[in-house]
Chains A and B, each alone.
Chain A
Amino acid sequence: MITLDKLTKIFDTPNGSITAADHISMEVPTGEICVLLGPSGCGKTTTLKMVNRIIPATSGRVLIHGEDTSQMNTVDLRRNIGYVIQQIGLFPNMTIEDNISVVPKLLGWSAEKYKKRALELLDLVALDPAIFLKRYPSELSGGQQQRVGVIRALAADPKVMLMDEPFGAIDPINREVIQDEFLKMQKELQKTILFVSHDIDEAVKMGDKIAIFREGKLEQYAAPDDLLAHPANDFIAGFVGNDRTLKRLQLVTAGEVMQQNPSMVTLDQPLDEALQLMESRDLEAVTVVNREQKPIGMVRREIAQVHRGSCRDHHDGLPTVIYQDDDLRSVVSRLYRVDASWLPVVDGEGYLQGVITQRGITHHVGATYRTQA
């Protein structure tokens, strides 16, 4: 857990003093990512750097797992905090292996141990050690350097990480990939992370909590969904954007919104049974599954009303299926693309788990607003 307690930084400059961080108080629970978000110059970096004392605080305290960091030796404190900066800051004179091993060496690990660790970490980000261990940073692409920057910070397995716009220098496509990779790692590693970003989309994607800063002040500290649903003031509403409701969609998976125990018919069932089912449940269509309970098509009510026979002869194909883990933004996008009002939802193995409807999504998004009102 990281606790900031009335943390304040005042820079004295020739043009007067600048309050870069003004009584910032917040708590980042163990194992969570907290994104510090805000426009340029609002004090995110200053706040972050006061945690590892790259910038000394003017007043206030930083506690890590309840322990006041001002009582700790600065060098020890830093060796126990992973630090990633936007410029990556790999040392060009060292091989990748040596770069990764910097902190383990400072901590006095045996050569055997830190070499093994470097191998492990390269594997973790899918960089082949045989190729990359002995390379120099200048021989890596930007995305590869960024990955090495992250695993270097993880080398000594710190509990706390500070990341200042760690993926800011990468092109958007690679950034998505690295973000996903990092989230996957974080699921296992459970680090407590302060993560600076100026990009609301990144914040929503990466953050368990988001802290919005403005001119040195902490304006709102909340979970992404809360922040998007209930921005505390106009500044925040403006910053998160008019499409904030759409942004919320990516925070929810199809599995959370789908109707479970979906109606279904098998290929061999007669059409009038399908019609009865739709009439009793007031459905416009029903999913057809094969013997393995995997959806393979659908029967429409207007077809069942005018035809006789089995579902096998009168079903239409499915335009697409939704996976339980898909986020609602991609679900909505696909619903619109295929012009459907509902689609079946399957699990990883392809078994039917439920159906998702446009109405269900609207209802879900609206629910938070209704509870607030």
Chain B
Amino acid sequence: MDKTALNRYFRNIFLFLIFCFGVWAERTGYIEEMAYYQEDVIYLAGEHLYLTLVSGGLAVLTGVPLGIYLSRPKMAQRAEASMQLLNIGGTIPTLALLALAMSVLGIGNNAAIFGLWVATLLPIVRNTFTGLRSVPAHMKEAARGMGMTPGQMLRQVELPNSLFVIMAGIRTALAINIGTAPLAFLIGGTSLGELIFTGIAVDDQAMMLAGAITTALLAVVIDFALGLLTMAFVSRGVNPLRQRTA
């Protein structure tokens, strides 16, 4: 069984489990109870998405250039050390990160966005860096030997050939981001965390589930959208999901 077939297999199991969960939710009356929170869910999902898109967008806009910068030949000496530093940064628990952000930026969305930005940055920088570094040396030499400037080489050869890996990093990053955004509630940010944590606090299962399920749904939708973007922007010649060989 090849890799895509295996993926399909797991996806089907996953869909089946969701279906079972839906049946269970209907039977126990949770669906009805959750519908009660519909208005909150819609509003908070919007806010949640706002947090994610702003902090995630910032992470892409900063992480990709940072990854590119670290992958340049002139940085070769310092790049590994910088990546280690980022990795260590990545081990700071997100909650601690949010607490730190709050202590500097105060309570509210700004602190949340900052915390989420930091939490999201690492996978993007790491994938951009490793993606660019894994472009084979001979391919870059061919580009150089044909008379490309470093900028032309980056745009025409290096980025297109590592875009799949970079996109994978962005997908991971946004999945982390959406999953972490509920914590923003704890430092005064507005997100689906409001339903989840309040639901837990007042022991209202339906309220908690309404928040949790919507968060999961958002994650799936965003990942799907990024999957489509990957298919659209990664050249067929280097997309491992679209290989036909001679």
Residues of chain A having any CB pair with chain B under 8 Å: 52, 54, 75-81, 83, 85, 87-95, 102-103, 106, 136-141, 144, 162
Contacts and interface: CB of A to CB of B under 8 A. Distances in A.
B145 A85 contact: yes
A139 B147 contact: no
A55 to B, nearest CB: 10
B142 interface: yes
A140 B246 contact: yes
B246 A54 contact: no
A94 B145 contact: no
Interface string B142-153: 111111110010
Contacts of B236: 136
Given A137-B237, A139-B244, A91 B145 contact: no
A106 B148 contact: yes
B152 A106 contact: yes
What are the 4 A-B residue pairs with the smallest beta carbon separation, nearest first?
A89-B142, A136-B237, A79-B147, A78-B147
A93 B147 contact: no
A162 B144 CA distance: 13
A89 B139 contact: yes
A137 to B, nearest CB: 6
A85 B246 contact: no
Interface centre among B138, B145, B161 (most CB of A within 10 A): B145
Given A89-B138, A91-B161, A139-B246, A78 B237 contact: no
A75 B145 contact: no
B245 A91 contact: no
29 contacts: A54-B144, A78-B146, A78-B147, A83-B142, A83-B146, A85-B138, A85-B145, A87-B138, A87-B139, A87-B142, A88-B142, A89-B142, A91-B142, A91-B143, A92-B139, A92-B235, A93-B160, A93-B235, A93-B237, A93-B238, A94-B160, A94-B235, A94-B237, A102-B156, A106-B146, A106-B148, A136-B236, A137-B237, A144-B246
A125 to B, nearest CB: 16
A87 B136 contact: yes
B151 to A, nearest CB: 11
Contacts of B238: 92-93
Contact of B147 (A76, A92, A94, A141): A76
A252 to B, nearest CB: 36
Nearest to A144: B246
Contacts of B246: 138-141, 144
Interface string B214-246: 000000000000000000000111100001111
B81 to A, nearest CB: 19
Nearest to A137: B237
Given A75-B147, A103-B147, A106-B147, A92 B142 contact: no
Nearest to B161: A93
Nearest to A83: B145
A49 to B, nearest CB: 8
A88 B143 CA distance: 11
Interface in B140-198: 141-149, 152, 156-157, 160-161
Contacts of A141: 246
A141 B246 CA distance: 6
A92 B138 CA distance: 12
A138 B237 contact: yes
A87 to B, nearest CB: 4
Interface in B112-157: 136, 138-139, 141-149, 152, 156-157
B77 to A, nearest CB: 14
Interface in B17-65: none
B152 A139 contact: no
Nearest to A134: B236
Contact of B237 (A52, A75, A77, A92): A92
Contacts of A106: 146-148, 152
B145 A95 contact: no
A190 to B, nearest CB: 22
A144 B136 CA distance: 20
B138 A79 contact: no
A149 to B, nearest CB: 8
Nearest to B136: A87
Contacts of A136: 235-237
B141 A85 contact: yes
Interface in B189-213: none
Given A85-B141, A92-B237, A92-B238, A138 B146 contact: no
Given A93-B237, A138-B245, A140-B246, A103 B146 contact: yes
Given A93-B235, A93-B237, A106-B146, 5 more contacts: A54-B145, A78-B147, A87-B139, A103-B147, A138-B243
B199 to A, nearest CB: 48
